[in-house]
Homo-oligomer: A and B are copies of this chain.
Amino acid sequence: MIPVSDIEWSTAEKEIARQAFKKAYQREITALIQVVREQAGEITKLDDIWLLHDFLSARRHDIDGKYDHRDSLLIFTFAQLVKEGWLHLDELKGLDAEKISKVSVLTRM
């Protein structure tokens, strides 16, 4: 079995991956914007502001790390995005079966 980090991506697969990535990212960002607007609307005291700040610090760290485009991490990233509900497995259609199977296995871990 090929280690995940050594998997080769064809040009067609890279394009599918790019599109899937983009979709998940758009969904997550749209949801985040919605949450921040709602949370901000409920701010009435300083603690609420620092709570929002802590929340944004955590989300920024998470998002910056998660949407890493390195090929060697794509399988892990996709598994995480599927797990979190930002991506559907069938949106990876077109990748070879082994890649989809790896992602699928990882989502159940």
Q: Which residues of A contact B (CB under 8 A)?
A: 29, 32-33, 36-37, 39-41, 43-46, 48-50, 52-53, 56-57, 60
Q: How many of these chains are in the complex?
A: 2
Contacts of A29 in B (CB 8 A): 45-46
**Would you give the shortest CB distance from A101 to chain B, in whole angstroms?**
32
Cα A48 to Cα B30 with chains together (Å): 12
- Output the least CB separation between A3 and chain B (Å): 33
Asked whether B60 lies within 8 Å of A56 as measured between CB atoms, the reply is: no
Which residue of B36, B43, B45, B50 is within 8 Å of A43 (Cβ)? B36
CA distance A56 to B45 in the complex (A): 14
Complex formed: what's the CA distance from A46 to B31 in Å?
A: 11
